[in-house]
């Protein structure tokens, strides 16, 4: 059984203005963060581009364009709910409430980071919010099952949310996880962020069905498709799915057709990308701002205030990260075993 | 004499500084049209530069030298 | 001869300068031109040209029926490669990073590597698996491993890891022509990528035509008399840098294994018999791997060949950390290699 969530008509939503403002605020904070990290990433890679150089070395996968998924989903979660994410984790970490200073320190490889600088941007672990992510495609799904399993045994209504991209839906772990969660009726919500591209491979070249929401039926669980990267559509779909999991109704799958505004990683020339010309025009943030201003939910000046507050928060986290101590090489082999 | 230009790599930043990352053929050596002679880079985008004509290669911008898209980075002289 | 005449003479011998990545692509292209059953499958190998450039330009020449972008389904497409090879094709199948082989290891070590043995030699699997390996640019725990020790430990597959463009092209051609499975590991740092730290040892002259480099034969990268440094892949470059630095103080022989399976034990023994001192450099984990195997090669035959205990310079048994200060400590960088060479000479 697959239902397509209808696009929430602009201007006639039933969401409370406070909720809508909150969604916008979260998305702006995420975008501000990603733009700032992008700036820091490129600041000291030159001349040319040496990926290993600078204060933020290595690969960087930013989530600009995918803010609606994180904002709409995490609005229904508390810090006691688990979230597993991917190599592109920042939007979900921020929306789920991971401490921004500790996260940023980790991205800058500092001793005060979430992982004491050992993990970096693809391996953010925050026990306080039960947030984790990993660089191996689809491998966050099995872990979420386990967190849901533990929550269920404790008799709580806590849930686990597992997020992957659409490319991951063709990996074995994805299918095993859906089957096992359904079979054991685990309180987990599976979310697929379909941003059309698995690095350079379009969904049409990787996936045998038009939408992964259709695959949910193969495992006997509800599948919901949110087609247009609309944050309120995500919010509505997530409310249903999360409510179902919390009340003992078992797992669901939500697929959001979202947008990868930038490259797969920073430095990706995207020469393969045929839809590049239309990308800027599909940016969800200016569209949602326009909607909220038209509805009077954002009064004149409110958007600027939100932007300024976001910028202050983000720059403060970055400044703190840059001032934090580097890890001591003498302890490079610590923490292998407990 | 034919100019070897730094190719356009970034439509978003046409004035971006780039760097010549490699010469595959040393200054003064004979090249044939279409032969791979250099590699250049803007941000993380790199591109191959092929000789535009037969002749002797003259290096104008050395390895690690900064250049802008469209700049002359080398020349091919008739030999 | 004038410069021009010398150049034209060199051109007549038919070589050109390539990066390791381009040399790999050229080796694949030459074999693909000659044999329509050679195909290349993997993630982002088509329009992208491979994340590390191994298939650059190949889609343009051979089209999407032979340079094939796959879904993220390693078990399925590695297995597909096995089946195609069994039916007479010569597929090259890419696992994007060695780190990802966990998701498809069953196909690799229980099937690809064992079918020939299980069938009493009646069924062959002439396929190549390519994998990118190695760290040094802060790609952290799941994107920086080498893992050739793990691959080499499992019987039934040859394992090669070239350090330079000449060997890369020749080994790729040998791998494709081999009648059995070959895992071709290319360290990202030897590929000569423009977006990584510049490495002049990643570019060299390569003959225009197809040629082979024998699998299972090491190469003396630098001759010496005082100490043997046995190593492979990116660490060959570091060892050569150290040898050049110590020139005048010590005569360091650098042995580039080029292959781990088969391991050129003869070359290891010949070099150590000459120098009497051994340093092994391995960017894989220290224990239960390549470095121990090289030392055992000597000790199994004659421990008295060693005038001092052998020294192993490897990644400790620790995941590769993200922070640069930590990563540079973990990897077998030139400073550690030099210290080991000095220690073994003093011992």
| pLDDT tens-place string over residues A198-253 | 999 999 999 999 999 999 999 999 999 999 999 999 999 999 999 999 999 999 99
**Which residues in chain C have their CB less than 8 angstroms from residue B39's CB?**
19, 194
Distance from CA of A140 to the nearest CA of C (A): 13
A199 vs C contacts (CB less than 8 Å) = 43-44, 48, 51
The share of chain A scoring above pLDDT 70, in percent, equals: 96
Radius of gyration of the CA atoms of chain A, in A: 19
Interchain contact B64–A (C-beta under 8 A): yes
User: Is it true that C3-207 and C219-346 share their CATH fold?
Assistant: yes
The answer to whether residue B27 scores a pLDDT higher than 60 is: yes
Closest chain C C-alpha to A53 CA, distance in angstroms: 8
Residues on chain A touching B44 (C-beta within 8 angstroms)? 49, 51, 266-269
- Tens of pLDDT along C212-255? 999 999 999 999 999 999 999 999 999 999 999 999 999 999 99
Q: Is C307 a catalytic residue?
A: no
Chain A residues with CB under 8 Å of B64 CB are 47
Q: What is the pLDDT of residue C9?
A: 44
Nearest chain C CA: its distance from A329 CA (Å): 5
Please indicate whether residue A255 or residue A5 has the higher confidence score (pLDDT): A255
- Confidence category of residue B8, pLDDT binned at 50, 70, 90: confident
Distance of alpha carbon C205 from alpha carbon A177, whole angstroms: 50
pLDDT at C347: 84
Q: Do A52 and C197 touch (CB under 8 A)?
A: yes
What is the homologous superfamily of the domain C3-207 according to CATH?
Thiamin diphosphate (ThDP)-binding fold, Pyr/PP domains (3.40.50.970)
Dist CA C143 CA C137 (whole Å): 10
Give CA–CA dist A262/A269, Å, rounded.
10
Partner residues linked to B56 by β-bridges: B30, B77
Interface contacts (A, B; CB < 8 Å): 25
Burial B27-53 (b: 16+ CB within 10 A, else e): ebbbbeeebbbbbbbbbbbbbbbebbb
For residue A267, what is the nearest residue in chain B, using CA coordinates? Answer: B44
Residue A285 belongs to some domain of the structure:
no
Mean pLDDT along residues C94-120: 98
C159/C181 Cα distance (integer angstroms)? 9
Vertex C180: Cα angle to C70 and C219 (nearest 5): 100
Q: Considering chain B, what is the average pLDDT of its residues?
A: 90
Is beta strand A188-194 parallel, antiparallel or unpaired with respect to A160-165? Answer: parallel
> Average pLDDT, stretch B53-71?
93
What kind of architecture, by CATH, is found in domain B2-77?
Beta Barrel (2.40)
C26-38: pLDDT as tens digits: 999 999 999 999 9
A12 pLDDT higher than 70: no
- The percent of residues above 90 in pLDDT, for chain A, comes to 94
- Here the ipTM equals 0.93
Cα dihedral A303, A309, A312, A316 sign: negative
A207 falls within a domain: yes
pLDDT(A48) > 90: no
CB contact under 8 A, A170 and C72: yes
CA distance B44 to chain C (A): 6
Q: How confident is the model at residue B43 (pLDDT cuts 50, 70, 90)?
A: confident
Listed residue (A157, A166, A158, A156) closest to A190, CA to CA: A166
Q: Please indicate, yes or no, if residue A228 is contained in any of the structural domains.
A: yes
pLDDT (mean) for A308-333: 98
Which of A42, A48, A268 is nearest residue B21 as measured by Cβ atoms? Answer: A48
Give me the CATH number covering residue A78: 3.40.50.970
Q: Is residue C203 scored above 60 in pLDDT?
A: yes
pLDDT above 90 (res A6): no
Residue A4's pLDDT is: 56
Q: What is the pLDDT of residue A9?
A: 44
Which stretches of chain C sit within 8 Å of chain B by CB?
Answer: 3-4, 7-8, 11, 16-19, 22, 192-195, 198, 203
Alpha-carbon distance A88 to A117, whole Å?
18
Res A11: pLDDT = 42
User: Where exactly are the structural domains of chain B?
Assistant: 2-77
Q: Is the pTM of this model over 0.80?
A: yes
A33, part of any domain: yes
Confidence band for C7, pLDDT divided at 50, 70 and 90: very low
Partners of C102 on chain A (C-beta within 8 Å) are: 136
The answer to whether the CB atoms of B24 and C18 lie below 8 A apart is yes
Nearest Cα of chain C lies from the Cα of A111 at a distance, in angstroms, of 9
Residues of B in contact with A279 (CB under 8 A): none
Structural domains in chain A (count): 1
Tokens 């082989």 -> residue:
C101
Average pLDDT, integer, range A36-64: 94
Question: Could you tell me the residue ranges of all domains in chain C?
Answer: 3-207, 219-346
Mean pLDDT along residues A95-112:
98
The answer to whether position A76 is within a domain reads yes
* pLDDT(C2) > 80: no
Instruction: Give tens-digit pLDDT for A167-189.
Output: 999 999 999 999 999 999 999 99
The confidence band for B59, taking pLDDT boundaries of 50, 70 and 90, is: very high
- Average pLDDT over chain C reads 95
- Based on its alpha-carbon atoms, the radius of gyration of chain C, rounded to whole angstroms, reads 20
Taking alpha carbons only, the member of C93, C86, C80 closest to residue C116 is C86
pLDDT at C13: 61
Pick from B24, B36, B46: which is nearest to C194 by CB? Answer: B46
Q: Which CATH fold topology does C219-346 show?
A: Rossmann fold (3.40.50)
**Contact yes or no for C8 and B56 at CB 8 A:** no
C-alpha–C-alpha distance, residues C182 and C93, integer Å:
11
Give the pLDDT confidence score for residue B9 in this predicted structure.
79
Site from B20, B41, B44 to mutate, A interface, most A CB atoms within 10 angstroms: B44
Q: Is the pLDDT of residue A294 over 50?
A: yes
- Asked, for residue A263, whether it belongs to a domain, the answer is yes
What number is the average pLDDT over the span C324-338? 98
Q: Is the pLDDT of residue A133 over 90?
A: yes
Q: Cβ distance B73 to B6 under 8 Å?
A: yes
Of A6-20, A215-229, B5-19, C277-291, least confident by mean pLDDT is: A6-20
Q: Is residue A318 very low, low, confident or very high in pLDDT (cuts 50, 70, 90)?
A: very high
- Is the pLDDT reported for residue A7 higher than 90? no
């Amino acid at each position: 059984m697959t239902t397509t969530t209808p696009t929430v008509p602009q201007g006639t939503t039933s969401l409370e203005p406070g909720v809508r403002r909150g969604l916008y605020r979260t998305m702006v904070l995420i975008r501000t963060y990603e733009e700032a990290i992008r700036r820091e990433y490129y600041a000291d890679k030159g001349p040319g581009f040496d990926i290993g150089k600078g204060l933020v070395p290595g690969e960087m996968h930013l989530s600009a364009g995918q803010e609606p998924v994180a904002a709409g989903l995490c609005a229904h979660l508390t810090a006691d709910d688990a979230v597993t994410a991917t190599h592109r984790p920042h939007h979900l970490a921020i929306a789920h409430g991971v401490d921004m200073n500790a996260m940023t320190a980790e991205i800058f490889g500092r001793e005060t980071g979430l992982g004491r600088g050992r993990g970096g941007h693809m391996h953010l672990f925050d026990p306080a919010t039960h947030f984790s992510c990993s660089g191996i495609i689809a491998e966050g799904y099995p872990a979420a099952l386990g967190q849901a399993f533990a929550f269920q045994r404790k008799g709580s209504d806590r849930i686990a949310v597992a997020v992957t991209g659409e490319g991951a839906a063709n990996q074995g772990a994805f299918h095993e996880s859906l089957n096992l969660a359904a079979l054991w009726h685990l309180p987990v919500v599976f979310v697929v962020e379909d941003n059309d591209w698995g690095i350079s491979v379009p969904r049409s070249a990787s996936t045998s069905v038009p939408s992964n929401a259709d695959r949910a039926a193969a495992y006997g669980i509800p599948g919901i498709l949110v087609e247009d990267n609309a944050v309120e559509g995500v919010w509505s779909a997530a409310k249903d799915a999360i409510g179902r999991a919390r009340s003992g109704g078992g797992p669901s799958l939500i697929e959001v057709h979202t947008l990868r505004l930038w490259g797969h990683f920073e430095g990706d020339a995207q020469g393969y990308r045929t839809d590049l010309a239309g990308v800027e025009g599909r940016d969800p943030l200016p569209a949602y701002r326009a909607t909220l201003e038209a509805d009077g939910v954002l009064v004149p000046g409110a958007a600027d205030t939100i932007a300024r507050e976001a910028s202050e928060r983000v720059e403060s986290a970055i400044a703190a990260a840059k001032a934090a101590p580097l890890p001591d090489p003498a302890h490079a082999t610590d923490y292998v075993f407990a | 004499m034919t100019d070897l230009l730094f190719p356009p790599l970034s439509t978003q930043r046409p004035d971006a500084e780039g760097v010549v990352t490699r010469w595959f053929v040393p200054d003064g050596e004979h090249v044939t049209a279409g032969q791979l002679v250099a590699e250049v880079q803007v941000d993380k985008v790199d591109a191959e530069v092929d000789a535009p004509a037969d002749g002797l290669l003259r290096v104008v911008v050395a390895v690690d030298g900064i250049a802008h898209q469209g700049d002359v980075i080398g020349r091919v002289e008739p030999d | 001869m004038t410069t021009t005449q010398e150049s034209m003479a060199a051109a007549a011998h038919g070589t050109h300068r390539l990066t390791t990545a381009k040399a790999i692509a050229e080796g694949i292209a030459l074999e693909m031109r000659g044999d329509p059953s050679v195909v290349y499958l993997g993630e982002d190998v088509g329009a992208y040209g491979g994340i590390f450039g191994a298939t650059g330009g190949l889609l343009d020449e051979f089209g999407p029926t032979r340079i094939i972008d796959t879904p993220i389904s390693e078990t399925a497409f590695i297995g597909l490669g096995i089946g195609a090879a069994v039916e007479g094709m010569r597929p090259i199948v890419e696992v994007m990073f060695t780190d990802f082989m966990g998701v498809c290891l069953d196909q690799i070590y229980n099937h690809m590597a064992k079918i020939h043995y299980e069938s009493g030699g009646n069924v062959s699997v002439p396929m190549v698996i390519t994998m990118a390996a190695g760290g040094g640019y802060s790609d952290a725990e799941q994107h920086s491993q080498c893992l050739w020790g793990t691959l080499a430990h499992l019987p039934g597959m040859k394992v090669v890891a070239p350090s330079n463009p000449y060997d890369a092209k020749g080994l790729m051609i040998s791998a494709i022509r081999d009648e059995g499975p070959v895992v071709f590991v290319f360290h990202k740092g030897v590929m000569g990528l423009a977006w990584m730290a510049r490495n002049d040892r990643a570019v060299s002259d390569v003959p225009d035509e197809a040629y082979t480099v024998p699998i299972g034969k090491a190469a003396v990268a630098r001759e010496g008399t005082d100490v043997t440094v046995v190593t492979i892949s990116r660490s060959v470059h570091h060892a050569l840098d150290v040898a050049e630095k110590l020139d005048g103080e010590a005569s360091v022989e650098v042995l580039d294994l080029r292959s781990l399976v088969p391991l050129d034990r003869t070359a290891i023994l010949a070099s150590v018999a000459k120098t009497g001192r051994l340093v092994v450099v391995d960017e894989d984990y220290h224990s239960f791997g390549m470095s121990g195997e090289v030392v055992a090669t000597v000790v199994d035959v004659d421990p008295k060949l060693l005038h001092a205990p052998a020294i192993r310079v490897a990644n400790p048994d620790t995941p590769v950390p993200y922070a640069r200060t930590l990563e540079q400590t973990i990897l077998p960088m030139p400073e550690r290699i030099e210290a080991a060479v000095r220690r073994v000479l003093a011992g």
